Amino acid sequence: MGKKTGEVQTVDQFLDSTLESVDSAEDLVLNVAQKAGFPEEDLHKIGMAVRESMVNAVVHGNQYSAHKKVHVSVSKGPDRLTVTIADQGKGFELDNVPDPLADTNILRHSGRGMFLIRAFMDELQVRRLSPLGTEVTLTKYLGRK
């Protein structure tokens, strides 16, 4: 599905709560990002941020439920790429995610996903959806170091 409003072009898909959907979302977003002109290194960062966000949505949000979908939307504007990933899970508070760089957490098995998303994208927003779900919005600007 796709639509064009002014200079912003948006493509979106509803994906199953499976690990295969992580690959599908990455492909969808990278296809748009490549056409938008992002350099190779930025494409790697965008792809990784999308993968981590999708894993959060599929594994922690929807918990692989066959009854829940992940809505992925990617918009290409004149100066930026905006990706929105929304699940139908119980949600979480970003402030409650432990800092993976803290000495007490450095050797933990998990908990680095949100940190990597922040590191690789220019902006990250998280909001709770009603009645259920979490929506993360990732933004990457063209030409920003």
Cβ nearer to another protein, comparing 66 with 101 = 101
Cβ nearer to another protein, comparing 71 with 112 = 112
**Residues ≥6 apart with Cβ < 8 Å to 59:** none
- The residues that touch another protein, with contacts defined as CB under 8 A, are 19, 22, 44, 48, 51-52, 55, 59, 100-101, 106-110, 112-113, 115-116, 119
Nearest approach, Cβ of 118 to another protein (angstroms)? 10
Residue 22: phi, psi to the nearest 5?
-65, -45
Cβ nearer to another protein, comparing 118 with 129 = 118
Q: What is the DSSP letter of 54?
A: H
Nearest approach, Cβ of 70 to another protein (angstroms)? 15
- Which is nearest to 89 in space by CA: 54, 52, 60? 60
123-128: strand order across its sheet: 2-5, 8-16, 69-76, 80-86, 134-141, 123-128
Cβ nearer to another protein, comparing 51 with 76 = 51
Contact 124, 117 (CB under 8 A): yes
- Which is nearest to 25 in space by CA: 81, 84, 66? 84
Cβ nearer to another protein, comparing 48 with 129 = 48
Nearest approach, Cβ of 65 to another protein (angstroms)? 17
Nearest approach, Cβ of 74 to another protein (angstroms)? 19
- Which is nearest to 31 in space by CA: 70, 23, 71, 14? 23
Nearest approach, Cβ of 47 to another protein (angstroms)? 9
